[in-house]
Structure 1
């Protein structure tokens, strides 16, 4: 986990899965609906970055938020905003690409073979 002063806190995909497995965090996917439908982690909740300001109150202030997107760029921006608002949030480095490459399960909502590409 990255914890340099001023740095956006990050975890690896493996660290994120471990936190989920032990109940030490929840996975929040900030991609858009069409990306989610193609493939997402089964443990994740969808909260598109485009809806964050309207829906931020849906997030728990008492739970570590593991923020994931496609490659880590959007999740870093969302994590920065959430940390600034007082949430315990970390970005999953490499996003769903890293999640899948590291053996993380993905499922689809569109009936097709799940993908994160």
Structure 2
């Protein structure tokens, strides 16, 4: 249930980000909220060990939606940094022909990116717990 509430909060936070280019009716927002609250707990999310296995096996596109200063402090090898606020404007730089794994600091912005990118037809999942969970699992990171 906690994740369902998080997804609803994510949707409500995402609407203003997209509002500049999209008009949402109250009915649309309510219907999307109903859809999100019915999703299973781990829908479109993967725990760090499963994400690491995917990275090693299928080499998905890694998308870091944190701010540049956060990215400079450490990131997953091969990740491309596009802050969540810039994602709508830079969406065409993302591949549609391969899976995308997205992450942020702790998972909130990653979840927003998943909602947005899924709505645009991308095959995307979020690393649950974000960069913090990845580091806590003792998986490798790059530091500049």
**What TM-score range do you get, normalising by the shorter chain?**
0.7 to 0.9
Stretch moving more, 37-46 or 64-73: 37-46
Matches within 5 A, 1:2-81: 6=36, 7=39, 8-81=43-116
Offset from partner CA, 1:34-82 (integer Å, 9 cap, x none):
0000111113111111210111100001111101000000000110100
CA RMSD in angstroms, aligned pairs only: 1.4
- Structure that is richer in helix per residue: 2
Structure number with higher relative contact order (C-alpha < 8 Å, ≥ 6 residues apart)? 1
In the aligned structure 2, how far is the partner of 1:68 from the partner of 1:88? 14
Displaced runs of 4 or more, over 6 A: none
Query: Cα distance, 1:26 vs. partner?
Result: 2.0
Q: Which runs of 5+ in 2 are unaligned?
A: 1-34
Report the TM-score, using the length of structure 1 for normalisation. 0.84
Q: Which runs of 5+ in 1 are unaligned?
A: 110-117
Report the TM-score, using the length of structure 2 for normalisation. 0.69
